[in-house]
Amino acid sequence: MTWNPILPPVLLALVGMVLLGFCVFALVRASDRRRRVNWALRLAACALIVVAAFRPGVGSAPAPNLQSEVDVLFVVDTTASMVAEDWDGAPRLDGVKADISALTAAHEGARFGLVTFDAAAVQRLPFTADTTALDALLQTLRPEVTQYSRGSSISIAEPLVQDVLEAAAEAEPERARLVYYLGDGEQTAETEPESFSAVAGYLAGGAVLGYGTEEGGPMKETAGTLATDESGYILDGQGQQARSVIDTAALQTIADDLALPLEVREPGTEVVPAEVDGTRVTQTGGSAETAFEVYWILAAAAFLLLLRDVWESVKHSIELSRARGGTA
């Protein structure tokens, strides 16, 4: 087993002792069974988080020690239309995740960043050579909650993307930067999309990758609650299943702005990575022992243990809202 702590081990140990000690203290002082159960779950979740912070790994395998002077930024559409089921019957987002994994492997040794956009653009991952962090994000990547969807622009991420690339260029101007824009081109905001042309000057390559079909596909609702019922499909104004279709013209406009090629993706085909100057990728000598890191499994387990707290908070908020409504 290997360990790769995110902070100095001594500091992590001290923080863990304080956190776990507080949970134990609260558990002992709990006055009833419900509170004891809650604190026991919190204690278990904190223990998992502390262990996850040490980034344990199991197994090992030799791998070439590559270094690449390339930064790859993935710009991913997470609007409700990305769950349209026209990726061989699966959601488009499944194709996006598979392509990002393939591109990560193709650009071995590079640093990777992730920006997602729906109603707002968010930088999910700053540039890092830690591909396990990117993998963990992809496994939990979900589209926006349907009930909160108010329309979105396919260019809403442009200011953030420009800021990220500008900062990277100022910090390390010698590195090449690639951008992969992954989306369906569907503009649901009332305004016209803005241009990406200001971003093109920072790029050495990349691609615009389109997902969806002209026939379109139905979209399941994405819930943001703890409900376990089967999600229904999004309906249009006539009560029929709404269908989302790819807007190739809009994607081509983005590709033209970025001076990048457009590739409309199809299931069962391999994504084509951008060509990179071979002098930017070097083997630093020998090989490194890599391990399968399990910290994300521990973090996911901790999240599940804390769902009880989330549920009780939601239930309490609903009850409080009803009580206020009844006294109004």
**What confidence tens digit (pLDDT) does each residue in 77-129 have?**
999 899 999 999 999 999 999 999 999 999 988 999 999 999 899 999 999 98
Same domain, 174 and 260: yes
Does 119 lie in the same domain as 42? no
Indicate whether 260 belongs to any domain: yes
Whether residues 198 and 86 share a domain: the answer is yes
Say which amino acid occupies 291. Answer: A
Q: Are residues 15 and 82 in the same domain?
A: no
Do 84 and 162 lie in one domain? The reply is: yes
Per-residue pLDDT, 149: 65
pLDDT in tens, 14-69: 999 999 999 999 999 988 898 898 899 999 999 999 999 988 887 665 555 556 78
Q: Does residue 25 sit in the same domain as residue 163?
A: no
* 23 lies in some domain: yes
Percent above pLDDT 90 for the chain: 59
Are 101 and 189 contained in the same domain?
yes
| Domain carrying residue 18 | 2-54+294-327
3-class SS letters over the chain: CEECCCCCHHHHHHHHHHHHHHHHHHHHHCCCHHHHHHHHHHHHHHHHHHHHHCCEEEEEEEEEEEEECEEEEEEEECCHHHHECCECCECHHHHHHHHHHHHHHHCCCCEEEEEEECCCEEEEEEEECCHHHHHHHHHHCCCCCHHHCCCCCCCCCHHHHHHHHHHHHHHCCCCEEEEEEEECCCCCCCCCCCCCHHHHHHCCEEEEEECCCCCCEEEECCCCCCCCCCCCECECCCCCECEECCCHHHHHHHHHHHCCCEEECCCCCCCCCCCCCHHHEEEEEEEEEEEEECHHHHHHHHHHHHHHHHHHHHHHHHHHHHHHHHHC
Q: For residues 114 and 296, which has the higher predicted lDDT (pLDDT)?
A: 114
Q: Does any domain span residue 59?
A: no
**Are 128 and 72 found together in one domain?**
yes
User: Do residue 127 and residue 274 come from a single domain?
Assistant: yes
Find the CATH number of the domain harbouring 253: 3.40.50.410
How many folded domains does the chain comprise? 2
pLDDT at 229 over 80: no
pTM, two decimal places? 0.68
